[in-house]
Amino acid sequence: MFGKLLFCVAALASAALAQDISIALPAQGTNIAAGSNFVVQVERATSSNSVEEISLVIAGLQCLGGCSGYGIGHTILYSGTFDPESTNGEGKSYQNFTVTAPNFFQGTMQLNVARFYLEGMTNFAELELADTTVTLTGGSG
């Protein structure tokens, strides 16, 4: 019983401390033309542990009556590798992804990023989520 409790506490502490990713671009509240290309810049804090990146997903969730903050979203904009190599001078690495905004709705969209990676000598599996809210405006043509 104590072992299970210790594992749960360690897992929760790890999740709380592991908030290493953020969405640097687009900024909160940015207007984006529906159907247009835009850049999502994902930042990752430098870790003192060994990290093996597994995958990254960028998705959009139409906000109907507010954004919940739960789930990745119904529109996958990118799914693939995450290999941040450039350093921005603040102890963070980043990678830019050019994605296409959904063109089937206008209004508020929660832009979500999910990062799956293995960390440390025991390859502890981690899933991190980050989000920001943007506004989709009239189509790009």
Q: Is the peptide bond before 26 cis (omega within 30 degrees of 0)?
A: yes
User: Does 1 have pLDDT greater than 80?
Assistant: no
CATH no., domain 19-137: 2.60.40.10
Q: What is residue 57's predicted lDDT score, i.e. its pLDDT?
A: 97
Determine how many CB atoms are found less than 10 A away from the CB of residue 10. Answer: 11
Q: Is 12 strand, coil or helix?
A: helix
Domain regions of the chain by residue span: 19-137
Model confidence at 123, in pLDDT bands (50, 70, 90)? very high
7 has a pLDDT exceeding 60: no
pLDDT band at 106 (very low <50, low <70, confident <90, very high): very high
Structure tokens at 7: 């594992």
The per-residue pLDDT for 46 is 82
**pLDDT over 80 (residue 3):** no
* Structure tokens belonging to residue 23: 């969405």
Q: Kindly report the number of other CB atoms within 10 A of residue 16's CB atom.
A: 8
Q: What is the tens place of the pLDDT at every residue in 56-91? A: 999 999 988 777 666 778 899 999 999 998 676 677
